[in-house]
Amino acid sequence: MLSYRHAFHAGNHADVLKHAVVVQLLRYLGQKDKPYWYIDTHAGAGVYSLTEGYASKTAEFETGIGKLWQRRDLPAPLADYVDEVSALNPDGQLRFYPGSPYLAWRLMRSQDRMRLFELHTTEIDILRHNFRDAGRRAMLYAGDGFEGIKAQLPPAPRRALVLIDPSFEDKRDYARTITCLEESLKRFATGVYAVWYPRVVRPESQRFAEQLKRLQTTDWLHVTLTVSRPPEDGFGLYGSSMFVLNPPYTLVAAMKEMLPFLADVLGQDDAAQFEVESRVS
């Protein structure tokens, strides 16, 4: 939806889960010499200020990265992610938060490429500014990533991470995500696809995992971080999930190491928990 601005939620507990997973996926892809593409269907602004503007009004980062920032006992997969946030804040003060595109840019090598889509007219302008010196390594598109991704698959190197993370404020995003994945798998069956979605009191969210699992019978990973009981009024985010198709073999162990810590540190009440489901051939 064009009213949605991710800056309100930058660095919250859902971002922590999403970006910790993305960092692990990109690190794995970077282990081989062969290049890869990073494709983001809903890229946002790329970088967010936490001390002014939308993020400072809601301060949701205090429920996420703010609780991890000064920790020295982080599990290794989580430390990888926090190190990337630290790189954006070299003076040690938490002022900026990296979105998925910036994390990908940090982890990409000279031979890798990114394709970023953003529909929001203001966000795409900020994204262009943030990537103004990227050259042809980063191609930015003002438009609907659900549709735009079709022309990008299969990628030239036949290796890619595709991140699909709409806001889901529009309930049609659930069905559009499933359709996007179905069509993308036909074009590029071996790609790594990572889908973020919110845990909210909404039937579309409650049944979404089972719909995702039906996309292919094996080679998927589903992780969930719940930080609180569902809100009594039915509104608001009480957790989030990441569903990864064709995950690297290392990801299950990394999630089992990281998620208990996150549930303990980011949990807001006695309903805090985590779940790791996988079916890997």
190/46 Cα distance (integer angstroms): 27
Q: Provide the mean pLDDT of the chain.
A: 94
Question: What are 25's two structure tokens?
Answer: 């996926």
Buried b (16+ CB within 10 A) or exposed e, 18-35: bbbbbbbbbbbbeeeeeb
- pLDDT confidence of residue 236: 86
Which residue type is seen at 121?
A: T
Arithmetic mean of pLDDT, 89-113: 96
- pLDDT confidence of residue 56: 63
Residue 1 lies in a domain: no
Residue 151 lies in a domain: yes
Q: How far is CA 113 from CA 107, 137, 139, 180, in A?
A: 11, 5, 8, 21
Say yes or no to pLDDT of 84 above 90.
yes
Structural domain of 217: 6-279
Strands 192-199 and 239-245: antiparallel
Arithmetic mean of pLDDT, 139-157: 97
Residue 10 lies in a domain: yes
Residue 109: give its domain's CATH number.
3.40.50.150
Domains identified in the chain, total number = 1
- Residue 9 sits at the vertex; the CA angle it makes with 99 and 131, to the nearest 5 degrees, is 25
67/202 Cα distance (integer angstroms): 28
**Upper half-sphere CA count for residue 242 (Cβ side, 13 Å):** 30
The shares of helix, strand and coil residues in the chain, as percent rounded to the nearest 5, are 40, 20, 40
pLDDT class of 146 with cuts at 50, 70, 90: very high
The model carries a pTM of 0.95
Arithmetic mean of pLDDT, 196-205: 95
- Residue 140 sits at the vertex; the CA angle it makes with 134 and 145, to the nearest 5 degrees, is 145
For residue range 106-117, list pLDDT tens digits in order.
999 999 999 999
Residue 150 lies in a domain: yes
Say yes or no to pLDDT of 2 above 50.
no
- Farthest CA pair distance, the chain: 51
For residue range 40-59, list pLDDT tens digits in order.
999 999 999 998 866 566 78
For residue range 159-194, list pLDDT tens digits in order.
999 999 999 989 999 999 999 999 999 999 999 999
Percent pLDDT > 70 in the chain is: 96
CA-wise closest residue to 159 among 189, 200, 199: 189
Say yes or no to pLDDT of 5 above 90.
no
- pLDDT confidence of residue 234: 75
For residue range 215-232, list pLDDT tens digits in order.
999 999 999 999 999 988
**Annotated active-site positions, please?**
165
Question: What are 207's two structure tokens?
Answer: 């049944």
For residue range 9-49, list pLDDT tens digits in order.
899 999 999 999 999 999 999 999 999 999 999 999 999 99
